Amino acid sequence: MKISTRGRYALRMMLDLAVNNNGEPIRLKDISKRQGISDKYLEQIISILNKAGFVRSIRGPQGGYMLNREPKEYTVGMILRLTEGSLAPVACLDYEPNDCERRNECVTLILWEKLNDAIKSVVDNITLQDLVQWQMEKSDNYII
């Protein structure tokens, strides 16, 4: 499994919205500048996030975007599944129940299920708030 730039940039955008939240809408141009991502690409991603209700747009000269919920209410898995689709390592795990004709004799299915469970246990248990905290710790440059 490889996460595309769309998934990675969506996470960075959501993190930027969370870290820079001061109660005012944040312009895509500002996110673009901070993240080094083209604003045209961010427009495509924000459209997906907006349609899903992850963010809300505020129109007008002081407009921009804001998270619709608190950062602790978004998991990395939610954001990645929205932008990437399935995170399963193999196609036969995309649907439940698994309807693969080889599922009863496929020994490698055990491996793929374990890998899928590991991926889910990470992405579904890390929240946007965790990323905010990690960002704050990483940017703490003081020395004791």
Domain ranges of the chain: 5-138
Strand spans (E) along 80-119: none
- For 23, other C-beta atoms within 10 Å of its C-beta total 5
Give residue 1's pLDDT: 73
Backbone angles phi, psi at 64, to 5 degrees: 160, -145
Q: Domain 5-138 falls in which CATH fold? A: Arc Repressor Mutant, subunit A (1.10.10)
CA angle at residue 97 from 91 to 102, to 5 degrees? 60
Give residue 141's pLDDT: 57
**pLDDT of 102 strictly over 70:** yes
- pTM for this structure? 0.89
Secondary structure of 55-73 in the HEC alphabet? Answer: EEEECCCCCEEEECCCHHH
